[in-house]
Amino acid sequence: MASSPRTPDWVKHAVFYQIFPDRFARSERVPKATHLEPWDAPPTVHGYKGGDLLGVVERLDHLQSLGVTALYFNPIFQSGANHRYHTHDYFRVDPMLGGDAALRELLDAAHARGMKVVLDGVFNHASRGFLQFHDVLENGPASAYLDWWHIEGFPLGAYGEGDGALRYRAWWDLPALPKFDTDTPAAREYLLSVGEHWLRFGIDGWRLDVPNEIDDDEFWREFRRRCRAVNPEAYIVGELWTGAERWLQGDQFDAVMNYQVTKAVLGFVATEIDDAEVARCGYGAVPRLSAQAFQKAMGAELSRYHPEITQAQLNLVGSHDTPRALTVLGGDRSALRLAYALLFTLPGAPCVYYGDELGLAGGHDPACRQGMPWDATDAWDGETLRWLQDLAALRHAHPALRVGSAEVVYAHHGVIMLRRQLAGDDLLVVVNTDGEQGNHVALEGLGEGARERLLGEGEAHVAGGRVHARVPARRMGVFAL
């Protein structure tokens, strides 16, 4: 355990945007396969739409206008799947995405705009097409790479051969995803060298897929040491859906995808929850929360980790592994905007899932992975787009929202007040999820008079040393104290 964790300073000030490469944007500069799904057709489990990295380069103006300063990409390495979690070659960007040259152009273009780039690292498992596993398929017990995997016998059953029984360990027993044996020095070194290679190439960090399934703290400690030796400001964020104290002691990951905050935020702002969709993903359930329950949940989360870790958490309201937030919230756009308002004003780096800013809806995979509707501007949710732009601008303008102290100082009747403070920057965030509005008293010991509203709706003033705030139903306001 590190006595005082150190996380990359840039992360605390970042606004992230998650991109699913096959579905974000296509460039005519990247040659296309001939059998692609129509871009605007409903996505399927196996179909490709042909998005690529140069398409992202050509849409950086949109991302910059949104206030985005960091990009998180789902896997980009050569693969036999549209999501690319079935890696064929960890040292080669998929040609369908434009290859290594496209990544080079993307990194140069993003960095020129002050944007960081974080890639998805899938190190627990590879694919049947990965060379060292394919060698086992071809050569059986004589394979030179037998010890890279957890082989239990032959035939392997990789394609249902023999009696069909699977005789190697695979992620969730899916034959397409054989699990590495990271106790084998050669396999271990291969994966660690991947982490180093792409940091040398110029990426700014790694999001680690199911890292808890490499149940070996020393592997992750070495991964951190070697990545930080290449880039001392590299961000290492793990995909963990529950409490992550074991990995957030300052010697393994900087942060996790903060699904605990996700569930609390969604549960507080919702007028209804699509429980059937929620049950299909890693959430399991999203309990409805009163203002008091949200205050308790935030108190627990904000004190769970060292403040340095808390400020570097990757906060989100949805991802490629969940139904879109708008669908979880039963199509309630006011709830979606309140959810993002909390995301941008709580400690931790907010992350927008591609298309949420346009009001996209969609159930669990594959429905949440649709093509970005660039040509259907008449269907965009302009109010949500402007709202996210305003939230990002507010966060960039006020250091208290990025690295200040945070406390839910009031919680009653569907209303919470969140106070963010840093020397010379003192803000009050008022969120009203109730169907009514009224005067709400929270803080004492302040000077008299009206308070400037920085964003949103409503008013706040101090009388008798107490803050009185009025915010319309299903709205929020941010006030300078």
- Mean predicted confidence (pLDDT) in 69-78: 98
Helix (H, G, I), strand (E, B) or coil at 356: helix
Of the candidate ranges 111-115, 300-304, 440-444, 473-477, the one whose mean pLDDT is the lowest: 440-444
Q: What is the mean pLDDT of the chain?
A: 96
Q: Is 202 left (phi over 0), alpha (psi -120 to 50) or beta?
A: left
pLDDT class of 3 with cuts at 50, 70, 90: low
Q: What is the rounded average pLDDT of the residues 456-480?
A: 94
Q: Which are the catalytic amino acids?
A: 209, 239
Residue with tokens 């980009």: 76
**What percent of the chain shows pLDDT beyond 90?**
95
Computed on alpha carbons and rounded to an integer, the radius of gyration of the chain in Å comes to 23
Q: Which candidate, 367, 366, 390, places its Cα nearest to that of 454?
A: 390
Q: How confident is the model at residue 159 (pLDDT cuts 50, 70, 90)?
A: very high
The stretch 345-366 carries a mean pLDDT of 98
Whether the predicted pLDDT of 58 surpasses 80 = yes
Q: Are 105 and 342 within 8 A, CB to CB?
A: no
Read off the pLDDT of residues 89-112 as tens digits, 9 standing for 90 and up: 999 999 999 999 999 999 999 999
pLDDT of the residue at 143: 98
Report the alpha-carbon distance of residue 431 to residue 207 in Å, rounded: 31
Summarize pLDDT for 179-215 with one digit per residue, the tens. 999 999 999 999 999 999 999 999 999 999 999 999 9
- Give the number of other CB atoms < 10 A from CB of residue 212: 17
Residues facing residue 70 across a β-bridge: 16, 116
**Alpha-carbon distance 75 to 85, whole Å?**
6
- The answer, yes or no, to whether residue 2 has pLDDT greater than 80, is no
What does the block give as tokens for 304? Answer: 């769970």
Q: Is the pLDDT confidence value at 244 over 70?
A: yes
pLDDT digits (tens, 9 = 90+) for 32-45: 999 999 999 999 99
**DSSP at 164:** -
Please name each of the domains of the chain with its CATH number. Answer: 9-124+180-397 (3.20.20.80), 404-480 (2.60.40.1180)
Indicate if the pLDDT at residue 1 is higher than 70. Answer: no
Residues 90 and 132: their CA atoms lie apart, in Å, by 12
Report whether pLDDT(53) > 90: yes
DSSP codes joined into one string, 292-330:
HHHHHHHHHHHHHS-HHHHTT-EEES--TTS--HHHHTT
